[in-house]
Structure formats: C-alpha cells, structure tokens
Amino acid sequence: MSARLQRSLAAACLAALALGLIGLLICPPVGAETCLSPFVKRLDRPEKYLYVYCVDADAKDNDFLIVIDVDRNSKGFGKVIHKLDLGSKGNETHHFGFTDDRTRIWGLTLFSNRVFLIDVATDPARPRLEKVIENFGAKAGLASPHSAYALPGRMLISFLSGKDGGLPAGMAEFTNDGKFIRKWTFPKEAPYGYDVAIKPNLNRMVTSGFTYYDNYKKPMAQMDFKKFGNDLLVWDFRQRKVLAKLRTGAAPLECRWSLKEGANHGFTNCALDNSLWVWEGKADGSYSARKLCDTGKLPADLRQSPDDRFLYVSCFASDEIQQWDVSDLQKPRLHSTLKLAIQPNMMHVTGDGKRMYITNSLLSTLDRPGEFWVKLAHVGPDGMKLVPDFHVDLNKFKTGPARGHDMLLN
C-alpha cells in the first residue's frame, strides 16, 4: 500500500471518527442531565455530591450552601458533609448554575442583588467562596438576578427587575469571572423575566415571565396577581432578537426544550394557571403555544426525563409531584403522582433519569410554615417512589431552620 493511500485511509477513518464524535457531542446521549444548559459539561459518572442552595429561614443568620454526600457507595450517603457560609444574610438565595466547564457555580439572589461565585473544582466536596459581587446587574440597569445559564465561556443571566425593582426585566451576559459583557432588552409588551432555555441546533431561545421585585417581595396576600407575565418569547439566539411572543397561561416559569433530536417544541409550567403549556415550531419558522394539560395547584418546577417521555411537575400548593407522559403531545397522560407532606418545589433529575432529588421551599414570601428537607425519589416508567432512608433534615442547623431551594449535582 502506498504512503499516499495509507494517508487517505487514515484521513477517512479520522473523519468518520470525528463525525461520530460530533454526533455524540452535539446530541447529548440518553443519560445527560436534562435541566442544565446544554453548554454545561456533563458528568461522566454517577453523582457524588448534591449542592443545595439554602436561605436561613428567619433571615437572622447568613445564608449558605450545603454539600450532601449522594455517593451510593459511601458510608456517609445522605449526610450533610459540608456547609459553606456565604458571609451575608437576607439574600433570598434562590437559583444557581454551573459555568460551562463545571468549575464554578454562580449563586444568584432575589433580595440582595449579590452574586456568589463558588469554586467547585478545587475540592468538589468542599466548595469555596471565590468572589462576591455586590450590586450585580447595575451596569446593565437590571436587578433581581434569577437564572444562571451557561453559554460557551460565559454566563447568561436573566433578571426579574429593572434597577429600581420594577419593569422591564431583562438579561445580560457576563464573563465566567463576573465581568459585564452586554445587555439583552425585553420588548415593552412582554417586560417580565424568569427562565431561559436555548436549543443550539435550532439557534432558538425561549424566555418566560414571572413578576418583579416590588411585587414578589410582598407577602403572598399582598401580591398583585395581575402583575405577572403571561407570555413566552422566542428568540433568534445568534442575532439576539425576538422572533415571536406567545400568549400562555399566567406566570410561565421553567422553559424546557424537548430533548428529542430534531424536535422543535418545548414545555413550560404556568404557575398561576395550574397548567402545562407546549410551544411548537412549524415548518414555516413560526411558533405557537397551547395548553397541554391541567396540573395540580401552583406548578412551581418542571423537569424532564432524559428520554423525553416524562415531565415532572411539582405542585407546590397541592403537595404533590405529578409525572406526565408526553410521548404523544396530543394526548398527554398523568402517569403517576407522588404525594408529599408539604409543598414540594425544586427537583433535580439525575443523568440516568432514575433518581430525583426534591426540596420544599419556593420563596420566603410564599412558603407555608412547616419543616424543610431534601428528599430522594426513584423515578421512571414505574412511577415515583420515595427512598425511605434518604431524608435530609434542614431544620436542625446551629443557626436554625433553612429553606433549601435549588440543587446541583457533581
């Protein structure tokens, strides 16, 4: 065989290998964590650590992050192994997210406009507070940072408020170490912000709308429920331009694109409409939204199974998690229900789709009095079943009870 032919064969093999790898890397394999930005590096092993972002319940002590040992082969399984003091109180620590390379967590706050940059690379079992950014969003004229969504090499943050605590909300991009890059402006006719989700292969992004600081800071009885978003925005991501405004039920919260290859639809939970909605792209490039099904009361969080068959909906006010089979979008079916003692809220489905961690605090102004905890359920085609020996009590810290909200795995 000539050297030239050998080179040609080697090149052909490499091209085939590269194409295969592109396929694998672009279409996350079944088992990828479904609720993270698609740009976040995925775990290539079962989870070992669960990070829970906690509010000191009476706001008299500092907020913190706890690390729970979730390595099923560990003797410490289900135990809190580390508590990271965030150095300040009254932040309403709410959502947090990994940077694209999974070395850092951005911890956002709803009451203080602080952002905590937390190093989880040096020692994943003992995260370290790397930087605190005060008045975060000021350069963008925005406040109340909500969703931390990784882009390649930077972060996209959705804000619930303008700088004065009102509207319009907006989004902004930052370098992974916190430097402001640019602002994204919401249209005046859809000024509410909440979640964001990008479907890279379609170059499409969807954002949703909750309410703004001056409204959500009030006790629930005083909130103005007319002042919540009821639209989804579909964006051309590369152009940073709104393509369509889709009317939904009140307070569309989480945005979840379908995980199926080539699918051009996604789901949102409308918290004040007690419903799930689906947005769907058409062949002509247009989008529409319609109600998919009615749910329990106050659907607060929405997660997906890796095979895209199930949606998990935490119904905060009816104390249950519903598992919906959405394999047929024309006939969604309630597959199972998990009843919990009180107000399940955030969920986190593992990469293999077999386990789901659950917390039960939504917002200090919305929580009912009760016990706070972290639970674990086995989930899948057989339904949802709590793991009886996994119950992390968040009420007995030296500083008193804590409200656990968002979770991440490592």
Which residues form the interface with other proteins (CB under 8 A)?
7, 10-11, 14-15, 17-19, 21-22, 25-26, 38-39, 41, 100-101, 103, 151-154, 173, 175-177, 179, 181-182, 185, 187-190, 200-201, 238-247, 284-289
Give 158 or 345: the residue with its C-beta nearer to other proteins. 158
Give 200 or 383: the residue with its C-beta nearer to other proteins. 200
d(CA 209, CA 313): 18
CA angle (168, 98, 365) in 5-degree steps: 50
Give 126 or 245: the residue with its C-beta nearer to other proteins. 245
- Is residue 68 within 8 Å of residue 81, measured between CB atoms? yes
- Is residue 98 within 8 Å of residue 40, measured between CB atoms? yes
The two tokens of residue 231 are 């639209």
Give 176 or 337: the residue with its C-beta nearer to other proteins. 176
List strand residue ranges (DSSP E) for 1-47, in order: none
d(CA 374, CA 361): 10
Peptide bond before residue 168 is cis, with ω within 30 degrees of 0 = yes
Give 231 or 320: the residue with its C-beta nearer to other proteins. 231
Measured from the CB of residue 25, what is the shortest distance to other proteins in angstroms? 5
- Is residue 88 within 8 Å of residue 62, measured between CB atoms? yes
d(CA 182, CA 156): 10
Measured from the CB of residue 22, what is the shortest distance to other proteins in angstroms? 4
Measured from the CB of residue 24, what is the shortest distance to other proteins in angstroms? 8
Task: Please choose, from the candidates 251, 252, 258, the residue with its C-alpha nearest in 3D space to the C-alpha of residue 280.
Answer: 258
Measured from the CB of residue 186, what is the shortest distance to other proteins in angstroms? 8
Measured from the CB of residue 182, what is the shortest distance to other proteins in angstroms? 4
- Is residue 191 within 8 Å of residue 168, measured between CB atoms? yes
Give 178 or 383: the residue with its C-beta nearer to other proteins. 178
Measured from the CB of residue 192, what is the shortest distance to other proteins in angstroms? 14
